Amino acid sequence: MKGKRAGYWLVLPYVVFLLVFMAYPVLFSVWLTFHDWNLVSPDIPFVGLENYKRLLNDDLFFKALWNTLRFILINIPLQIGLALILAVALNQPLKGRGFFRGAYFLPVVTSGVVISFLWAWMLSTDDGLINGLLQKAGLHPVPWLTSETWAMPSIAWVAAWKNLGYYVVIFLAGLQSIPKQLYEAARIDGATSLQCFFRITIPMLNPAMLLVVILSTINGFQLFTEPYIMTGGGPANSSLSVVMYIYKNAFQSLDMGYAATIGLVLALIILSVSMIQKRLLEKDVTY
């Protein structure tokens, strides 16, 4: 009994932390969705479902949601494809393997703001590195960040490049947990490398794949730094993400109630999408 008491005391700091920094803000923001608050006014009038009604009629919210979906649809396949290729390559006994593993991880630990600035320069239409190379090859410059068509794909590429290393590490861990005997047995049966890859590696990587898909979807819905720095949400709101729209409502228009409403709806969207993904992918998981 004595020992048990001490245990409670020892977990208390974390429980307090959780209540103060997690539970209270979450409950407060749910409460806020029914109120109109400009962040600083002492009176916070109750508005009922007004914020939710406004959300349903807000074209800009749906545009931001659509932009974010576009981002995810480009970003995830790109990220997973590249990460998988790199992970398989880095799993081979190459020379300088440690260096490459470190090099691909470097962008993950670099500040997103710095990376956004760097890529904003490289993607600049008139004096950027990439258009310079394109023109040397006799091609036309592309307005990467200043056209409605290209802004979001460019951002999706930058985000994929930044986070690649993180997913490579997950895939590498997955690859190393595949028992060697499986490959040996397949070889004896006369399987080619390609057959090994598609029949053994890919199915055995399923748990890692599930993790990567869910994590990068959640990350994708939280897109903020790249468009905030690189395009400011433009041109013509074509790269405005949902989180940027929350930020704009909260800290530019001081509409905390509405911002909280969008935040809550976004959280529900992420929750349901993750559940669906889990259902779909878990079916094939082989442990």
Partner 1 sequence: MKRVGIVVMALMLMLLQVGCTSGGNDNGKVELTYWPAANPVEVQFAKEVVKEWNAKHPNIQVKMQPLPASRSTEEVLLTSIAGGTTPDVCSNINPGAIGQFVEAGGLLPIDSIDGAMGEILKRTPKETVETFKSKDGHLYQVPWKGNPIMILYNKQHFREVGLNPDNPGLDTYSKFLAAARKLTRDTNGDGKPDIWAIAPNVEQTWWQRFFDFYPWYVAATEGKTLLKGGKADFNNPKGLQVMQFFRTLFQQKIAPQSTFKENLFVQGKVSMVITGPWALADIEKQAPKMEVGVMPIPVPDNMPAKLRITYGDPKNIAIFRSTQHPKEAWEFTKFLISKQNDVKFLKMTQQIPFRKDLAEDPSVQQYLSQKPVLDAFVRQAPYTRAIDDSNKITDVFDALSLEYQQAAVMGKKDPRQALSDAEKKVNEILQRSR
**List of residues contacting partner 1 (CB under 8 A):** 2, 5-6, 9-10, 12-13, 16, 38-42, 117, 120-121, 124-128, 135, 141, 143, 145-148, 228, 230-237, 248, 251-254
Name beta bridge partners: 35: 46
Nearest to partner 1 of 10, 109 (CB atom): 10
Nearest to partner 1 of 35, 248 (CB atom): 248
- Residue 213: both structure tokens together: 């898909």
Nearest to partner 1 of 16, 202 (CB atom): 16
Nearest to partner 1 of 146, 274 (CB atom): 146
Nearest to partner 1 of 145, 212 (CB atom): 145
Name beta bridge partners: 46: 35
Nearest to partner 1 of 5, 279 (CB atom): 5
> Closest separation between CB of residue 13 and partner 1, Å?
6
> Closest separation between CB of residue 2 and partner 1, Å?
5
> Closest separation between CB of residue 246 and partner 1, Å?
14
Nearest to partner 1 of 16, 280 (CB atom): 16
> Closest separation between CB of residue 59 and partner 1, Å?
12
**C-alpha distance from residue 269 to each of 61, 165, 185, 217, 246 (Å):** 13, 27, 44, 11, 15
> Closest separation between CB of residue 167 and partner 1, Å?
28
Say how far apart CA 143 and CA 154 lie, in whole Å. 10
> Closest separation between CB of residue 208 and partner 1, Å?
37
> Closest separation between CB of residue 47 and partner 1, Å?
12
